[in-house]
Amino acid sequence: MINFSTIVIWILYLISLYIIIFWLLVLIEGKKTNKIKKLKKFPLVSILIPAYNEQDTIIGVLKSVIKLDYPKNKLEIIVVNDGSTDNTANLVKRFINENKNYNINLINQKNSGKGTALNKGLNVCKGEFFTCLDADSFIKEDALKKMLPHFQDEKVGVVLPLMKITQPKNVLQKIQWVEYLINLFYKSIMSHLNCVHVAPGPFSVYRTKLLRSLGGFDEKNLTEDLEISLRLQSKNYKILQLMNTEVYTVAPDNLKGFYKQRNRWYKGTLLNTLKYKNLVGNKKYGDFGIIQMPRVAISGFFAITALGFITYNYVLNPIIKRIYDFSFINFNFLSHLQEFIKNFNLLDLNYTNLFFGIISFIIGALVIFYAHKYTKENIFKHGIFSVPVYAISYSLLASLVWLSVFIELLLNKIQKW
Amino acid sequence: MVARKIKKSRYLIAFLLTAAVFTIGILIGLLINTERTSFLERENKLQRLDYDSIQLQYLYLTNTLKKDQDCLSATKALEKQISDLGVLGNKLENFIEDGTANIDDYNLLKREYTLAELRYWLFIKNIKDICDSDNVGLLYFYSNNNCDECRTQGLILGKVKSDLKDKLLVFSLDHDFNEPLLNIIKDRYNVTKLPALIIDDEKYEGLHDDEDLLRIICPRYQGNLTICQAYK
Q: Between residues B68 and A154, which one has the greater pLDDT?
A: A154
CA-based nearest residue to B223, from B136, B108, B117, B124: B136
What phi and psi, each to the nearest 5 degrees, are found at residue A161? Answer: -85, 175
Q: Which residues of A touch B209 (CB under 8 A)?
A: 328
The minimal CB distance from A351 to the residues B32, B158, B159 is found for B32
Answer yes or no: do B10 and A25 touch at CB < 8 A: yes
- Residue B115 C-alpha, separation from nearest chain A C-alpha, in angstroms: 22
Query: What's B154's domain CATH number?
Result: 3.40.30.10
Distances (CA, A) of A104 to A72, A94, A168, B227: 11, 11, 31, 88
Whether residue B84 is found in the same domain as residue B64: yes
Q: What is the DSSP letter of A314?
A: I
Q: Report the distance separating Cα A204 and Cα A69, nearest Å.
A: 17
CA A81/CA A49 separation, integer angstroms? 8
In a domain, B3, yes or no: no
Question: How many CB contacts within 8 angstroms connect chain A with chain B?
Answer: 110
**Cα nearest neighbour of A358 on chain B:** B25
B4–A287 C-beta distance less than 8 A: yes
Which chain B residue shows the shortest CA-CA distance from A7? B99
- Residue range(s) defining the domain that contains residue B140: 134-232
Nearest to B5 among A286, A338, A348 (CB): A286
Over the Cα atoms of chain A, what is R_g? 25
Residue ending a domain, among B82, B105, B128, is B128
Between B46 and A330, name the one with better pLDDT.
B46
Indicate the residue among B85, B113, B128 that finishes a domain.
B128
Instruction: Say yes or no to pLDDT of B85 above 80.
Output: yes
B111 in the same domain as B20: yes
**Are residues B171 and B139 in contact, defined by beta-carbon separation less than 8 angstroms?**
yes
Q: Do residue B115 and residue B180 come from a single domain?
A: no
Nearest CA in chain A to B5: A286
Q: Can you list the alpha helix ranges (DSSP code H) found in A106-221?
A: 114-124, 143-147, 171-192, 208-213
Q: How far is residue A234's CA from residue A227's CA, in Å, rounded to a whole number?
A: 10
Rounded Cα–Cα distance for residues A387 and A382 (Å): 9
Q: Kindly report the pTM of this predicted structure.
A: 0.88
Co-location of B216 and B138 in the same domain: yes
Peptide bond into B195 cis (omega under 30): yes
Please identify, among B128, B156, B189, the residue that sits at the C-terminal boundary of a domain.
B128
Hey, what amino acid is at B125? K
- Predicted confidence at residue B65, as pLDDT, reads 67
Same domain flag for B38 and B148 = no
Q: Which residue of A has its CA nearest to B16?
A: A18
Kindly state whether residue B143 falls inside one of the protein's structural domains. yes
- Banded model confidence at residue B139, pLDDT cuts 50, 70, 90: very high
CB contact under 8 A, A238 and B2: yes
Give the total residue count for chain A: 417
Do B124 and B158 share a domain, yes or no? Answer: no
B13 & B123 share domain: yes
Q: Do A326 and B1 touch (CB under 8 A)?
A: no
Chain B hits for A289, Cβ within 8 Å: 4
Rounded CA-CA distance B214/A22 in Å is 61
Q: List chain B residues with CB under 8 Å of A26.
A: 10
pLDDT truncated to tens, each residue of chain A (417 aa)? 567 888 899 999 999 999 999 999 998 887 666 667 788 889 999 999 999 998 888 999 999 999 999 999 999 999 999 989 999 999 999 999 999 999 999 999 998 888 899 999 999 999 999 999 988 899 999 999 999 999 998 999 999 999 999 999 999 999 999 999 999 999 999 999 999 999 998 999 999 999 999 999 999 899 999 999 999 999 999 999 999 899 999 999 999 999 999 999 999 999 999 999 999 999 999 999 999 999 999 999 999 999 999 898 889 988 998 898 888 888 888 888 888 888 888 888 889 889 999 999 999 999 999 999 999 999 999 988 999 999 999 999 999 999 999 999 898 877 766
Is the bond leading into A202 cis (omega within 30 degrees of zero)? no
Residue B210 located in a structural domain: yes
Residue B4 domain flag: no
User: Within this chain, do residues B118 and B188 fall inside the same structural domain, yes or no?
Assistant: no
Locate the chain B residue with the closest alpha carbon to A291: B11
- Closest Cα of chain A to B175: distance in Å? 18
Which amino acid is located at B174 in the chain?
A: D
Report whether A248 contacts A137 (CB < 8 A).
Answer: yes
- For residue A195, what is the nearest residue in chain B, using CA coordinates? B4
Residue B25: is its pLDDT beyond 60? yes
> Mean pLDDT across the stretch B174-187?
92
Q: Which of the four pLDDT bands, split at 50, 70 and 90, describes residue B227?
A: confident
Q: How many structural domains does chain B have? A: 2
- Contact list in A for residue B39 (CB cut-off 8 A) is 345, 347
Helix axes B180-189, B103-127, angle to 10 degrees: 50
3-state DSSP call for residue A378?
Answer: coil
Please state, in angstroms and rounded to a whole number, the distance separating the CA atoms of residues B77 and B71: 10
Q: How far is the C-alpha of A26 from the C-alpha of A28, rounded, in Å?
A: 6
How many Å apart are CA A312 and CA A349, to the nearest integer?
21
What ipTM does this complex have? 0.87
Instruction: Please list every residue in chain B whose beta carbon sits closer than 8 Å to the beta carbon of residue A284.
Output: 4
B68/chain A closest Cα distance in angstroms: 31
Would you say the C-alpha torsion A332, A333, A337, A338 has a positive or negative sign? negative
pLDDT band of B225, cuts 50, 70, 90: confident
Same domain, B124 and B143: no
Interchain contact, A290 vs B6, CB within 8 Å: yes
Ranges assigned E (strand) in A91-179: 104-109, 129-132, 138-139, 156-165
